[in-house]
Structure 1
Amino acid sequence: MQFKHIFPAVLAVAAVQAQNNTMNLTSLIAGNTDLSGLSQLLQQYPNVATSLASASNVTLFAPSNQALQAVSAVLASAGGNTSNLVQALLDYHTVKGVYLASNITAQPAFPRTMLNMTAYSNVTGGQVVECRLVNNTTVEVISGLKTVANVTQANLNFTGGVVHVINSVLQIPGNFSSVAVSANLTALVGATEATNLTSSIDSLQDVTIFAPSNSAFQAIGSAASNLSASMATQILEYHVINGTIAYSSSLGNTTIPTLGGKNVTITVANSTIFVNGARVINPDILISGGVMHVIDSVLNPNNTQARGNSSETSATAQFSGASSATAVPFTSGVATPTTTIGALITTASQVASGYSSVAPAGGSKSAVASGAGASSSSKAGAAAMQTGAVGAAALFGGAALLANF
């Protein structure tokens, strides 16, 4: 079973491009005083500039001068050949398809970007960003670690599409384990390490992970302490959907097979999304291979009948007889995050409250991954964000990747 992503009708329009737009992208950037930093960056990397200038039917989210200040520090500290870093970064700011500000609504849209480098993305067709309208006034673009960038200048047309100036650099999503640690999902990371699954999950392509919170693991502490290695592996694989990226607004009432083979049941009730008996409490955390949704209970592959409802769920409902532990299981060997990113750990019971519709069962993998765009060639996929300083590890999807260049 696959999911189909339904966009607002306004997004399913033809590519909007004024007939009299004769300015090319390079000229547009060079002529905008708020984009002088981007212009200078492109002059330093002519191959990257040529690649960007040749793009057509695209939307560029162009970081302002202030936003790019952090990038200068990152590139200066990286040393050596940084052209691949810059290429990856600008690819991630370039969305396939033309999206005018008026095309973006309160219901999240998930367009694909040009980022296809395997060192940074394992999403077929390109890594994604989330776009949404907040309070009917502000367009937000959400990227890795739920970093939020606001559009400060909109609808700057050029011959190949449209440019929106943003006030923060988009962050390339890291792999599952690095993002999970940043989200304080240390029990999940510890469990995957104990079962030797971390590396394989990190490398999966087009993946959806339902990630139990630390509290969820702690609530079944008595059961967790008695798990065999085989059973622990089965439980963890039951939280992974391989080959399908299902963002929250793609989820409808349906069932879908997991990595371990057994199905999970998705239920949407009163703007709340349930996976069997677990509630999604923080959706759409982007990772390099797809998306991660935090849930409030650990799923049990031997109790697939457990169901949630719109008012409450029980963290122990899927493990009958389990009781809470004083300590959080599996965390003894996992480093505690040095910083806390509020957007990754904030919980919400009504994660689908802003959606005008929720996709029904059915559809194809390509519909989930690509969706419907603003133009005939645009693609979709996606994420969420938070304003803050940009570090090298976050900006380029993890510090370990910097060593590759």
Structure 2
Amino acid sequence: MKLLSLALLAAANSVVAQNSTFLDGLMSTLEHAGCTSLTQLASSLNSTSQGQYLLKTISNGDPYVLFAPNDTAVSNAPSNLTSNPADLLSYHVVHGNFSGQSTTYPNTTVGRTFLNDTTYVSLEGNKSQVVAWATRSDGNVHVLNQRSDSSSMVTNVTSYGNVTIYVVSSVLEWPDNFSGALSADTPYLDGLGATISNVTQSFYNGTDGSTSNETVARIIDGGFKGFTLFAPNTSAIEALGGGITQYEQNATLLQIILANHIINGTSVYSPELVGQDYTSAAGEQFSFSINSTGQYVKMGSVTARIIQPDVLLSNGVAHIIDQVLLNTEEDTSAASSAAASATSMAAQSTTETRPIGYSQTASLASGGASGSSASGSSSSSSAALAVGGLSASQIVGLGFTAVALIVGAFVVIA
């Protein structure tokens, strides 16, 4: 027993020594890249089991991407992020080879990070959180879903061994739950907090019973693991005119319509949509396409453009669309089967070592649809997509009243 204990201690010391060597080299590279403050945070990694695991993993020779906030970014970061170096660094490291991968917004690149602390992440199958990035109209690569999109820019690219280092101008904030994301002052969800509160009150008026209200609260607070939400914007609702009133007066039809905007049990990011079919929480079929004008979701006779993809949440993902998927049909058996299948798939252990989804390409000049179905491809992808003639800043300014409608749909799947 004594010999075994000595062997285990020697092995542990060996891991720490190996980690220290790797950490020393990585920190030296970061310091030369203007990320000295980050190295001060990273220096504590070897003192925790979580940090040791992260260091051991990224030093194994596989390719990784490290988003490295520069010194100004760290000095301006909220204390709730910098006070936990292990979780902070875990959300800044992505597993996989992303060399040559380049997407132009609204196409995105999505990668799986190491952040799986249940305090912050509640995805299906206990998966780690993702990060999304793309080239914006200014020609620079930006990390999406940050409070200030202009401050999340990649300013330099360097490397240390198997780690590609993207120096960024802000500390990356991991996604909040549905309620927090709606109320956050971000480019994607600006002003939604008050809107969702008002619309929810107009639906329920405090008379719909505690069960429904509790279900809504669970969704807002992140009680469900894994969902994909196609959220119509304000203009989409306004386009229905007085027609929406008849559905507001029929709770059953309204819940079916709302459920037909949700994929239950799985977080489907935009690079995974095209070439796949998914079933809604009401049992109806989604289909997806991409062409020179953008990426689209179709249900029945309605085709909506995704104008803001990959709004990341702690327990799912939302895609903002420009049409209401007005479908009052439902198939409860198909919905139940799809949810069970999603749950089963989520329980399978997977290691993602490349961009999530597959390469998508669309050219303004082509005028035709195109796309690759090679799932998990790490090849280059790009798209110069027009979003209805709107600039990025104009899209940012859109109100998303209708997203609040979707909350009610989760009553169906509770």
Higher relative contact order (CA 8 A, sep 6+): 1
AA at the equivalent of 2:90: D
AA at the equivalent of 1:206: G
> Which residue of 2 is the match for residue 243 of structure 1?
265
Q: Which runs of 5+ in 2 are unaligned?
A: 1-19, 205-211, 331-360, 380-391, 394-414
Q: CA deviation at 1:91?
A: 0.9
> Which residue of 2 is the match for residue 157 of structure 1?
160
Whole-Å Cα distance in 1 between the matches of residues 25 and 369 of structure 2?
39
> Which residue of 2 is the match for residue 339 of structure 1?
none
Whole-Å Cα distance in 2 between the matches of residues 133 and 187 of structure 1?
30
The equivalent position to 2:178 in structure 1, one of 152, 176, 179, is: 176
Name the CA shift for 1:27/1:44 in 2 (closer, same or farther; >3 Å). Answer: same
> Which residue of 2 is the match for residue 295 of structure 1?
321
Q: How does 1:247-266 map to 2 (within 5 A)?
A: 247-252=269-274, 255-266=277-288
Sequence identity percentage: 28
Choose 134-143 or 264-273, whichever is displaced more. Answer: 134-143
AA at the equivalent of 1:167: S
Q: How does 1:1-400 map to 2 (within 5 A)?
A: 24-30=22-28, 32-33=31-32, 34-43=34-43, 46-47=47-48, 49-56=51-58, 57=62, 58-71=64-77, 73-74=79-80, 82-83=83-84, 86-100=85-99, 102-106=100-104, 108-123=108-123, 124=125, 125-133=127-135, 138-144=140-146, 147=149, 149-158=152-161, 161-182=163-184, 183=189, 184-185=191-192, 190-191=198-199, 194=204, 196=213, 197-201=215-219, 202-220=222-240, 222-225=242-245, 226-252=248-274, 255-272=277-294, 273-276=296-299, 277=302, 278-302=304-328, 357-358=370-371, 371-373=376-378
Q: TM-score when scaled to structure 1?
A: 0.60
CA RMSD for the aligned pairs? 3.7
Aligned residues: 292
Whole-Å Cα distance in 1 between the matches of residues 80 and 166 of structure 2?
23
Question: CA contact under 8 A between 1:188 and 1:212: conserved in structure 2?
Answer: no
Whole-Å Cα distance in 1 between the matches of residues 21 and 156 of structure 2?
17
Q: CA deviation at 1:64?
A: 0.8
Question: CA contact under 8 A between 1:145 and 1:179: conserved in structure 2?
Answer: no
Q: Which runs of 5+ in 1 are unaligned?
A: 1-21, 77-81, 305-350, 375-384, 387-405
Name the CA shift for 1:209/1:75 in 2 (closer, same or farther; >3 Å). Answer: closer
Q: CA deviation at 1:188?
A: 5.2
Name the CA shift for 1:269/1:356 in 2 (closer, same or farther; >3 Å). Answer: closer
Q: CA deviation at 1:94?
A: 0.6
Whole-Å Cα distance in 1 between the matches of residues 128 and 369 of structure 2?
26
User: Structure 1, residues 330-384: CA drift from partner, whole Å, max 9, x if none?
Assistant: xxxxxxxxxxxxxxxxxxxxx9668995355xx9xxx5xxx3458xxxxxxxxxx
AA at the equivalent of 2:23: L
Q: Which of structures 1 and 2 has the bigger CA Rg? A: 2
AA at the equivalent of 1:300: L
More helix by share: 2
User: Structure 1, residues 19-51: CA drift from partner, whole Å, max 9, x if none?
Assistant: xxx972333214514121112223456326534
Whole-Å Cα distance in 2 between the matches of residues 113 and 61 of structure 1?
10
Q: CA deviation at 1:73?
A: 4.2
Whole-Å Cα distance in 2 between the matches of residues 221 and 181 of structure 1?
27
Q: TM-score when scaled to structure 2?
A: 0.59
What is the DSSP-based 3-state SS (H/G/I as helix, E as strand, rest coil) of the residue aligned with 1:54? helix
AA at the equivalent of 1:283: P
User: Structure 1, residues 267-323: CA drift from partner, whole Å, max 9, x if none?
Assistant: 44443314332332222211122321112232222279xxxxxxxxxxxxxxxxxxx
Whole-Å Cα distance in 1 between the matches of residues 97 and 272 of structure 2?
22
AA at the equivalent of 1:358: G
> Which residue of 1 is the match for residue 348 of structure 2?
none
Name the CA shift for 1:144/1:138 in 2 (closer, same or farther; >3 Å). Answer: closer
